[in-house]
A and B are shown apart, each in its own frame.
Chain A
Amino acid sequence: QKEVEQDPGPLSVPEGAIVSLNCTYSNSAFQYFMWYRQYSRKGPELLMYTYSSGNKEDGRFTAQVDKSSKYISLFIRDSQPSDSATYLCAMSDLSYGKLTFGQGTILTVHP
């Protein structure tokens, strides 16, 4: 079993929809949780970052961490075609020496 599991999708939604992306993990040492966005043929870029449990909001994006369930989520409100990309969850322990990534979810928002 992989340390981090992420549904690869693909996920296709209409413009304006609310998108929910999720990851589960098994390593209880993970404390830092991130979401990266990767456009086609580009490198991943950091989208959201949270430490420990709780919510964090940034514009149309909300990241949630539930450490008791070992479950993290990324919500995208009012999704736009420009949100079409692969979204990767990533996490690390307190040493933040190395990140462990999920498989990535391919999202398409169609007009």
Chain B
Amino acid sequence: IAGITQAPTSQILAAGRRMTLRCTQDMRHNAMYWYRQDLGLGLRLIHYSNTAGTTGKGEVPDGYSVSRANTDDFPLTLASAVPSQTSVYFCASRRTSGRTGELFFGEGSRLTVL
């Protein structure tokens, strides 16, 4: 089934550890995004990439980094995890042609930092 695959689906992590959340899409969408979702705060944009080789900062980028080496993959790295990064992380993609701007989301990665 075409779409976005995120891994891991769930992870418990000790504070200070490095963690990479993986995201792969097979829709050949140009733009990709990482959001975090917290109760009462909704979805907040962490980083985005409009096309392979480019990235940009969203609303809450501190403590996170991304890379976009090719069209399909957009990993999110926490260099040194802290408890405030406990959240559900969603990767999304969007084709940049057309006018709908619809985002397609993965199923999420649930991260707990202790």
Give CA–CA (A45, B4) in the complex, Å. Answer: 12
Segment at the B interface, from A13-21, A36-44, A58-66, A73-81: A36-44
Question: Top 10 A-B pairs ranked by shortest CB distance?
Answer: A43-B105, A96-B101, A103-B42, A101-B43, A101-B42, A46-B102, A44-B105, A43-B107, A104-B42, A43-B106
- Interface footprint category on A: 20 to 34
> Is A42 a contact of B42 with CB atoms below 8 Å?
no
**Does A111 count as interface, using CB distance less than 8 angstroms?**
no
Interface positions, chain B 56-88, Cβ under 8 Å from A, are: 58
Q: How far is the CA of A42 from the CA of B105 in the complex (A)?
A: 9
In the complex, the chain A residue whose C-beta lies closest to that of B41 is A103
> What residues of chain A lie closer than 8 Å to B101, measured between beta carbons?
32, 34, 49, 92, 96, 99
Asked if A49 and B40 make an inter-chain contact with CB atoms under 8 angstroms apart, the answer reads no
B42, B48, B58, B90: the one within 8 Å of A102 (CB): B42
Contact A88 B43 (CB under 8 A): yes
A65 to chain B, nearest CB (A): 15
Of the candidates A36, A98, A103, the one whose C-beta lies within 8 Å of that of B40 is: A103
Q: How far is the CA of A88 from the CA of B40 in the complex (A)?
A: 12
Q: Are B42 and A98 in contact (CB under 8 A)?
A: no
A46 and B108: CB pair below 8 A? no
Residues of A within 8 A of B43 (CB): 44, 88, 90, 101, 104
Within 8 Å by CB of B58, from A42, A45, A98, lies A98
Q: Is the CB of A49 within 8 A of B105?
A: no
Question: Which B residues lie within 8 Å of A49 (CB)?
Answer: 100-102
Chain B residues whose C-beta falls within 8 Å of the C-beta of A104 in the assembled complex: 42-43
Within 8 Å CB of A103, what residues of B?
40-42
Complex contact B90–A43 (CB within 8 A)? yes
